[in-house]
Amino acid sequence: MSLRDLLKHIAPGRNDVRHLTFDECREAMDACLSGGESEVTVGAFWVALRAKGTTVEELRGFASAARERANLPGEKAQGLVWISPPLGGYESAPPLEVAAGLVAAGAGARVLISCDRCVPPKRGLTASSVLEGLGLSMTWDPAEAESWVEQTRFAVCSVSGMLPELLELRRVRDEIAVRTPLSTVEKLICPPSAAVVAGAQSGPVLGMAVEGLQELGHQNALAVQGMEGGVIPSLRRKTRAIELSEGYLISVHVEPEDFGLESEGEPELPLFSPPPEGKGQGDNEALVRAAAEMTALVLAGEPGEARSATLIAAALILKVAGRCMTLAEGVDAATISLDNGRARQALEQLRDLSQ
């Protein structure tokens, strides 16, 4: 069945609109990634799916097809935690997942962050931006990412390096200029053996993301409605999350005051001139440097909102990794990792490997 045929079942305004089956979604994802369909048809399909609303079964079908095509690092690694922030990045919130991942690595977790750079239409700041500002780089080679995790407990790997066919969809995303279920599917491109911490936008996507991970065979995962749909919790309000623990779903509310880390403000980057038309915050060199400097200050022990948010995010990673029983224990372990220099040591080890 062609993508055009599948589109007929989900197009808005039809009386026979229905959800797609698992097999139909696999076919659709294969069609989108194979390059055999026109960009207009691909774009219309994802926009129609957004209008219809996506089911967990549909997400499972899309993600299964993408996983089969991808070269995923860490498929046989023990204790790997896969961090899936929004590929489009952040417009105003700092991408503190690099700092949080390094802190968790310093506390004994094995962490891999999946990301890309300047993904349209948002083209925001990502973990790649932070590494770039620190004079480093993510890797596009899944085998290299696996090696870095083995040696330093930390790596950042390009999703399009794992699945190059995604690059063909970037132009479509740019033309659509709205969020579609593809943004959620991309976060599910990870090995089923890994524990996962995934960012989620507000609304029902929180439950769908973690249920999708459950259906895809994961035993441990956490979907977090962090700042701008990322994995970094808010300091001003409680952050909703759903944990998948050994097959059970548990509602979680992350409240900074429980750890003495509440704040009237959130971590913020300096304000710069808006990016030119057709560009995003990820293209802003000054903003990239500021995001990297914030991460460097956190790793150097600088107090403030960025440190507090990093500690809570690292605790979430440690909890999913099974390195602690409670978030309070995770915050304590993250604080030790940060204060004794182990997090910074992980960064320097990564620097040595990437040179």
pLDDT in tens, 240-277: 999 999 889 999 999 999 999 999 999 999 888 788 87
Maximum pairwise Cα distance, the chain: 63
pLDDT of residue 2: 86
Contact 341, 102 (CB under 8 A): no
pLDDT in tens, 120-145: 888 999 999 999 999 999 999 999 99
Contact 310, 98 (CB under 8 A): no
Which part of the chain is CATH 3.40.1030.10?
A: 80-162+181-268+280-354
pLDDT of residue 173: 87
In the block, which residue shows the tokens 């524990």?
Answer: 195
Instruction: Read off the tokens for 15.
Output: 């009386």
pLDDT of residue 89: 94
Strand (E) positions, the chain?
80-84, 110-115, 154-158, 195-199, 220-224, 239-245, 248-254
The whole-angstrom separation of Cα 305 and Cα 310 is 8
Per-residue burial over 25-55, b if 16 or more Cβ lie within 10 Å, else e, is bbbbbbbbbeeebeeebbbbbbbbbbebebb
Instruction: Read off the tokens for 219.
Output: 């035993």
pLDDT in tens, 70-123: 999 988 888 999 999 999 999 989 999 999 999 999 999 999 999 999 998 889
Among 59, 55, 51, 54, smallest CA distance to 14 is for 51
pLDDT in tens, 274-327: 888 778 999 999 999 999 999 999 999 999 999 999 999 999 999 999 999 999
Write the DSSP symbol of residue 91.
S
pLDDT of residue 109: 97
pLDDT in tens, 2-54: 899 999 999 887 778 999 999 999 999 999 999 889 999 999 999 999 999 99
Predicted confidence (pLDDT) at residue 344 exceeds the cutoff of 90: yes
Predicted confidence (pLDDT) at residue 157 exceeds the cutoff of 90: yes
Instruction: Read off the tokens for 315.
Output: 């605790």
pTM, to two decimals: 0.95
Write the DSSP symbol of residue 300.
T
Q: How many CA atoms lie within 13 A of 212 on its CB side?
A: 31
Q: CATH number of the domain at 80-162+181-268+280-354, out of 3.40.50.720, 3.40.50.2300, 3.40.1030.10, 2.60.40.10?
A: 3.40.1030.10
Identity of the residue numbered 159 = V
Write the DSSP symbol of residue 221.
E
Q: How many CB atoms are located within 10 Å of the residue 72 CB?
A: 23
Q: How many CA atoms lie within 13 A of 270 on its CB side?
A: 13
Summarize the confidence of residues 188-203 as an average pLDDT.
Answer: 95
In the block, which residue shows the tokens 């066919």?
Answer: 165
pLDDT of residue 87: 93
The whole-angstrom separation of Cα 154 and Cα 110 is 6
Q: Cα 354 to the chain's mean position, in Å?
A: 22
* 239-245 and 248-254 beta bridge pairing: antiparallel
pLDDT of residue 205: 87
Instruction: Read off the tokens for 94.
Output: 């700092």
pLDDT in tens, 207-232: 999 999 999 999 999 999 999 999 99
